[in-house]
Structure 1
Amino acid sequence: MSHAPVDPVALTADLIRCPSVTPEEAGALVLLEQVLADAGFDCTRVDRGVTSNLYARWGKKGANRAFGFNGHTDVVPVGDRAKWTRDPFGAEVVDGWMYGRGATDMKSGVAAFVAAAVDFVRQTPPDGAVVLAITGDEEGDATDGTVALLDWMAANGERMTHCLVGEPTCPETLGDMMKIGRRGSMTAWFTVTGVQGHSAYPHRAKNPLHALVSLMHRLTAEPLDEGTDHFDASTLQITTVDCGNPATNVIPAEARGTVNIRFNDLHSGESLTARLRAEADRVEAETGVKIAMAVQVSGESFVTPPGELSEMVARAVTVETGVTPQLSTSGGTSDARFVKDHCPVVEFGLVGKTMHAVDERVEVEQIRRLKAIYGRILRDYFA
């Protein structure tokens, strides 16, 4: 029985029409499960907490070669709907562009790899397995999304031998960049407690703002590093300083400040936490205030060294687009930070200029080209 190829553009539109703002599933995974089950994939819903996830495998469990795709169907909120020129969940196509929340990040990527996988196993059934790990919790806390899928896989003897995350990776042109790693990310919250007093009698008070300003200056005065072979220099940014003091003649009792650090492979969350604490201790000793610190590490830095996987993906991209992708570790975090503990992982997807923006949109022709790239990667992997 012959099957018509899966249209990734139509599938993208159907997914956009599911208003799956984290953590709402809104029918997106139900739709994908139906498409994949019809093509002979074994599908399992791996829901945890309020998060919906889908695991789909074609081929034998525990196969020696199992190529995986990872992506997400959840999207960020629309924001001010009045500023959109098109329905955020309408998937309208205008002048060759499809509009909608998730059009770029990343329902088009999911549609492209689902379409490529279905056509591949129908046309040329491989000696191995094709795995799709799709989450509904990438834009949120990400605690019950890809992490839950990987936990379930470990408990049930499921595996991927290599994985591609379909996040948007290209800055300007389809094909110009792929990700072989990501910087680490962490946030630190400082609460500085001093002694309140009259601003005319500072000797009777301990000004927490002076201490906080001193601490922030220490943290930003020198660069963390100059970068490494695969990473740009790490960055530390002050994101807020506040004491909530409405009076001009009162030294406040407490002040708060927050910093966000994006770090390379010279550091870890643990080493940077120790560095921040040491600076806070010095300011405490100099000023007599108390500085409490809370830290959240969203992900450690990692790199998949250039090699067989990255070369195969880059080759497929170049053949289909005529563009040679730059191997990069730039940008924010992605679920690749979790997958890297399971198997080698790289990322390749669309141009990401409009992701999370008002009037998020994707060039329709790019969706078709992305499916072609993913299809070539599957053929080359199992050749």
Structure 2
Amino acid sequence: MRSAIGRLVAQQLGRASVVVLDPVSGTTLLDVRGSRSRIPASTAKLATAAAALDVLGPDTRLATTAHRDDRTVYLVGGGDPTLVRARGGDPDAGGRPSLTALAEAVAADYGTQTSLTVVYDASAFAGPGLGPGWGASYPRLGVAAPVSALVVDDARVRPGATARVNDPARQAGEVFAALLEAQGLKVRKVRKGELAEGAREIARVESATIADIVQRTLTDSENNFAEALAHLVGGRLLQDPSFSGGARATTQALQALGLDVDGLTLADGSGLSRQNRIPARLLADLLAASVSSTDPELVPMASGLAVAGLTGTLADRFSSAATKAGRGFVHAKTGTLTGVSSLAGTVLDAEGRTLVFAMIDDRVRSLAGVRSTMDVIASTLATCGCD
């Protein structure tokens, strides 16, 4: 292993952490500064994914509900980040739950020409909308929206746009009101509030399973999906559905899975915060658990990793002569922040073994250069039967 990739690590990733494991035998094939805590960027989503699968359960679905109390209809968010306004198709076949479908069900219950007040309720999540250290420009730039338990169309200012709104719950409430009016109802007011005691549920739409949401989160590095999952974990374990609650609950969940969390410090669930610290060894251990039979609930993590040269955040990578051997064989989660590059995943080697690797460099001078080196290292693992 050292002869195959050791020189690359030493010469081109001199300050980075690199770990390679054989998850079947439990053998550590390479460990270069693997225990050093690093800024992980989006590879932090692996920790969030594991906690969500373990705490929430892979088969759990997230509901957005409508409740009736006389002429007030409540739109209640349950933390589903996948809701869309249009008909989204079957969530179990790659589609998304539809706010239009919810509005149609409400209209069927009320009948047309009824005058209503719409109250939108996002109280399932608490705390600030932007994570520790996040830039105030993130919504405008499309990096992430303020985290909310009620969101539609990824909180984009309009479908297909890059920028996101500053108040996702309000947007969802206003979109819902417009959809009700399109059904023949009259909406006299839209306001923020909480579900009234005694209001009865009249309709709901549900997400795909947590396993499916985790896979989408990892493949495309969906920041708001990851934050919703972390908030939900915080709410379930600690009754604290916030950034801090999600961070503490994720750490607790990983520890309960038997993972060594020494050196782990989390501030959010997406990896956007530069306050996050994760050792590469922990990322490798997480992936090893996902591809082994010891923790079957974590299996969706492995299938959610982007495929080199083909899907998600790796679709436009592994195209050079030095990396083409990894195309299709490397499956990984990427991570990028200013001065940070990371890559953690699995690779099928020349002997048919599945190996696990994790690489983090948080003192990067050339992101393109370090990213290319990491891709070469992963590809080299695919061509060797290294010990």
| Structure 1 and Structure 2 fold alike (TM over 0.5) | no
TM-score, L = length of structure 2 = 0.25
Q: State the TM-score, normalizing by the size of structure 1.
A: 0.25
Structure ID, larger Rg:
1
Q: Higher helix fraction: Structure 1 or Structure 2?
A: 2
